[in-house]
Copies of this chain bind each other. A is one copy, B any other.
Amino acid sequence: MFVLVNLKAYPCDPVAVATAARDVAEASGVRIAVAPQAAHLDAVAETGVETWAQHVDPIAHGSHTGHTLAEAVADAGATGTLCNHSEHRLTLADVDGALDAAERTDLETVVCANNPDQVAAAAALGPDAVAVEPPALIGGDVSVSTADPDIVEGAVAAAGAVDPEVDVYCGAGVSTGDDLAAAADLGAAGVLLASGVAKADDPRAALEDLVSGV
């Protein structure tokens, strides 16, 4: 299982979470990555944790003030990027363009989507992975794997029908070891989570619980 911790714009200490994630990943053998604000990529990558961008724009070098260049996040230490998160939707053409930018810079990619149809569409664009995150469950207390197991299984089936090489992750409400185990049982190869770690009183303990059942 792959655990991708999205720090969003939360008021956490990104280096502290990154350090905890690095330690828990090493101790457990579970792959854990942390996706901070672009301005924190450098500091997070220096901890040695696997570091992801939250977003890259569908651009190459050029006149693009205020947009996120894949080369810049890679320079700062990112080795992967989220794309099309529900809080930063892109046009279909721009998802395609962002994947091109990520491929150009060897960033691993996860394209987010709301439901199995969109997962199939995302998979057709050739990312490394897709993630199904029902918007209604994001930030909530109930894990997608409990609240809507059908959507996870549907996403796994939909992506597999388009391209069996594309991994499927799930997200929304994931916070415990049981949630992770349930996601794995439904066919997910990983989970996206955010508030469950970033807003936890003790992010290290939250991560330890999360991977305890793997």
> For residue A64, which residues in chain B have a CB less than 8 angstroms away from its CB?
8-9, 87-88
Provide the bound-state CA to CA distance between A126 and B120, in Å.
11
Out of B54, B117, B124, B126, which one reaches A65, CB within 8 Å?
A: B54
- Interface membership of A121, Cβ < 8 A: yes
| Nearest B-chain residue to A59, judged by Cβ | B9
- Interface membership of A29, Cβ < 8 A: no
> For residue A41, which residues in chain B have a CB less than 8 angstroms away from its CB?
39
| Nearest B-chain residue to A116, judged by Cβ | B124
**B54 and A66 within 8 A (CB):** yes
Please encode chain A, from 54 to 65, with 1 for each CB lying within 8 Å of some chain B CB and 0 for all others: 110001111111
| Nearest B-chain residue to A163, judged by Cβ | B120
> For residue A9, which residues in chain B have a CB less than 8 angstroms away from its CB?
59-65, 67, 69, 72
Q: Which of A9, A43, A61, A138 has the most CB of B within 10 A?
A: A9
> For residue A95, which residues in chain B have a CB less than 8 angstroms away from its CB?
92, 121
Please encode chain A, from 144 to 159, with 1 for each CB lying within 8 Å of some chain B CB and 0 for all others: 0000000000000010
Question: How many copies are assembled?
Answer: 4
Provide the bound-state CA to CA distance between A10 and B59, in Å.
11
> For residue A71, which residues in chain B have a CB less than 8 angstroms away from its CB?
11
* Contact-size category for A: 35 or more
91-142 of chain A: CB within 8 A of chain B: 91-96, 113-115, 117-118, 120-126, 138-139
Segment touching B, from A19-27, A78-86, A175-183, A203-211: A78-86
Q: Which of A75, A115, A139 has the most CB of B within 10 A?
A: A75
- Interface membership of A162, Cβ < 8 A: yes
> For residue A120, which residues in chain B have a CB less than 8 angstroms away from its CB?
121, 124-125, 162
**A118 and B125 within 8 A (CB):** yes
Could you give 5 example pairs across A and B, Cβ below 8 Å?
A9-B61, A65-B86, A89-B91, A96-B118, A120-B162
Question: Can you name 19 extra interface pairs (CB under 8 A) apart from A38-B72, A65-B194, A123-B124?
Answer: A6-B65, A8-B65, A9-B60, A9-B61, A9-B64, A9-B67, A9-B69, A39-B53, A39-B69, A64-B87, A67-B88, A92-B92, A92-B113, A96-B114, A96-B117, A120-B125, A121-B122, A124-B124, A124-B162
